[in-house]
């Protein structure tokens, strides 16, 4: 099984006290996910974010709805949490989210996603032809939404 890695770091001007609570609410995932993915949280709200929390979603993959279930395996507010795939389109998914206060009062957000495709060589081909590009597009969208969501009042105007 070939494990791929997607990494992204982003700095926003909002404080750690403002940023972390937004990400600690799985209900907010739809806000940072492209609308074309039809993202929907199935777990009833409010979802208590903690180690051991299981969260169910539906997401469109290639236009088809697919169930996605994650387990929060590490939760260290306000600095880090990890979600791992229990059910979904990948044979392996491990997403580490990190949050660090910056010297100027902002927040550095980090994402490290380790993932593997199912179906052996066929999955590797799908990754090379489409999946890598789709994931990059999702995280590009996410980056833009986060920048806008946590921009200074002057920047938003």
pTM (global) more than 0.85: yes
**Could you give the domains of the chain?**
3-151 (3.30.530.20)
**pLDDT-derived band of residue 14, with 50, 70 and 90 as boundaries?**
very high
The first and second tokens of residue 70, run together, are: 């994650």
Residue indicated by tokens 């404080």: 15
pLDDT digits (tens, 9 = 90+) for 59-106: 987 788 999 999 999 999 999 999 999 999 999 999 999 999 999 999
User: And the tokens for 65?
Assistant: 């709805």
Quickly count: other Cβ atoms within 10 Å of residue 64's Cβ: 9
Q: What is the pLDDT of residues 20-66, one digit of tens each?
A: 999 999 999 999 999 999 999 999 999 999 999 999 999 987 788 99
pLDDT at 109: 97
Give the C-alpha separation, 112 to 95, whole Å. Answer: 6
Helices (H), 1-117: 16-23, 29-32
Mean of the per-residue pLDDT values for the chain? 92
pLDDT confidence bin for 152, thresholds 50/70/90: low
pLDDT at 136 over 90: yes
């Amino acid at each position: 099984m070939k494990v791929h890695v997607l990494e992204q770091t982003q700095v926003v001007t909002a404080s750690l006290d403002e940023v972390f609570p937004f990400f600690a609410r799985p209900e907010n995932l739809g806000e940072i996910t492209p609308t074309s993915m039809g993202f929907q949280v199935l777990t009833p709200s409010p979802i208590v974010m903690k180690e051991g929390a299981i969260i169910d979603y539906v997401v469109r993959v290639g236009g088809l709805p697919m169930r996605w279930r994650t387990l929060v395996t590490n939760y260290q507010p306000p600095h880090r949490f990890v979600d791992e795939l229990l059910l979904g389109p990948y044979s392996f998914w491990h997403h580490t989210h990190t949050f660090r206060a910056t010297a100027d009062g902002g927040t550095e957000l980090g994402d490290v996603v380790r993932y593997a495709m199912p179906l052996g060589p066929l999955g590797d081909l799908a990754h090379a032809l489409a999946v890598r590009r789709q994931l990059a597009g999702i995280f590009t969208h996410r980056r833009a939404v986060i920048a806008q969501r946590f921009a200074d009042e002057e920047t938003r105007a």
